[in-house]
Amino acid sequence: MGVYSRYARRYARLVTMPTTAPTAARALADVTASDSTLRRFLHGLPGVDAVGLEARAASLGTRSIKTTAKAYAIDLAISMVDLTTLEGADTPGKVRALGAKAVHPDPTDRSTPATAAVCVYPDMVAVAKEAVAGSDVKVASVATAFPAGRAPIAVKLADVREAVAAGADEIDMVIDRGAFLAGKYLKVYDEITAVKEACGTSARLKVIFETGELSTYDNIRRASWLGMLAGADFIKTSTGKVAVNATPANTLLMLEAVRDFRAQTGVQVGVKPAGGIRTSKDAIKFLVLVNETVGEDWLDNHWFRFGASSLLNDLLMQRQKLATGRYSGPDYVTVD
């Protein structure tokens, strides 16, 4: 109750705060003072009613985005794609092709925006960096013993440092879900802050929760706050390596979290749904979620990304359809 009302009071006070607020760490320093204060804070966050959350996400999914709005949304979505390859079979050739595609997604139409980034394993960062050189496309590297995260902290940090040293602009870390589910929130927090430190000033940090393993929406809300308190630049749903990845509902919930976090601390954090988003229709539904939950401030690839691979080709085919009026086919987009 005490923690909750403190949350409530802060919330009420801070919604009108200017965005030049102190950092999250300073504003909520008392929250992370100990395992028990952190636990009380996270468990004092308002609960999530699953049926209501899913109903809201489904309702926004019925928005009808047509003509000019659709064209806008498709280009926006392309610009937000973290074009990803995370396979054991990845080779420099594969990564170079991916980089080329990220820079010029549709070689037949140079007005097509570039994607936001390519996303690769740490050992491919240097190749990727070279492939996108001279463009605005960023290189993101998964790290911290992705996807399971089951490695000693020293290994995880070394993984991050290597990727950063190789030129990664962004680090996609995984949290220790085991520690989270065991209630060891401070351990998760400390690990994120250590990774954040390893990122230095050059790399932005995306924190992956693997929402499918956290299982409940209450856990996803708590993880979102935990990640943001620890300094995440982005919070990200999933690795793409488990059964349930990004869904409209878990992404809506994380959008609510970044909205409330900014209201409380003045710090804006990005959101990245990843895994399972394959069609333009799906992507547009996510953009509607962004538009109607957090608004314009997040409608930019600095604050919202799609972690995806096959999505890009569908976006390109839809883009061609809008431009020509006829349906495109897989032979008219590149296979990489």
Tell me the closest approach of the beta carbon of residue 130 to other proteins, in angstroms: 27
Residue 163 vs 289, nearer CB to other proteins: 289
Q: 38 and 233 in contact (C-beta within 8 Å)?
A: no
Cα separation of 324 and 187, whole Å?
54
- 285 as an active site residue: the answer is no
Closest to other proteins by CB, 196 or 305: 305
Both tokens of residue 213?
């393993």
What pairing do the DSSP bridges indicate for beta strands 306-308 and 270-272?
unpaired
Exposed e or buried b per residue across 19-49, where buried means at least 16 C-beta atoms within 10 angstroms of its C-beta: eebeebeebbeebbeeeebbbebbebbeebe
Least separation in angstroms between CB 221 and other proteins: 9
Residue among 215, 312, 232 at smallest CA distance from 271: 232
Which residues of the shown chain bind other proteins in the complex (CB under 8 A)? 4-5, 8, 11-12, 15, 46-56, 62-70, 72-73, 75-76, 79, 211-212, 214-217, 219-220, 243-244, 247, 249-250, 256, 287, 291-292, 296, 299-300
Nearer to other proteins, 141 or 211 (CB): 211
Cα Rg for the chain, rounded, in angstroms? 20
Tokens standing for 261?
């976090």
Active site residue 138: no
Residue 163 CA to chain centroid, in angstroms? 18
CB of 137 to other proteins, least distance (A): 16
Q: Which of 82, 106, 169, 172 is catalytic?
A: 172
Between helices 35-43 and 217-229, what is the axis angle to 10°?
130
Q: Nearer Cβ to other proteins, position 69 or 151?
A: 69
The active-site residue, picked from 70, 196, 236, 285, is: 236
Annotated catalytic residue, options 272, 282, 285, 314: 272
In the complex, least distance from residue 175 CB atom to other proteins, rounded to whole angstroms: 15
Q: Which two tokens stand for residue 112?
A: 């097509």
Contacts of 327 (CB under 8 A, 6+ apart): 317, 321
**Residue located via tokens 């690990």:** 191
Give 129 or 138: the residue with its C-beta nearer to other proteins. 138
Residue (194 or 316) nearer to other proteins, CB: 316
Q: How far is the CB of 225 from other proteins (least distance, A)?
A: 14
Separation of alpha carbons 189 and 183, rounded Å: 11
How far apart, in whole angstroms, are the C-alpha atoms of residue 105 and residue 81? 11
Instruction: Provide CB contacts within 8 A for 174, sequence distance 6+.
Output: 142, 144, 145, 146, 147, 148, 149, 208, 210, 239
- As measured in angstroms, the least distance from the Cβ of 136 to other proteins is 13
Residue 298: CB minimum distance to other proteins, A:
10
Output the six-digit token pair for 172: 């996609």
Q: For residue 236, indicate whether it is catalytic.
A: yes
Q: Measured from the CB atom, is 291 or 334 closer to other proteins?
A: 291
Task: Please list the active-site residues.
Answer: 172, 236, 272
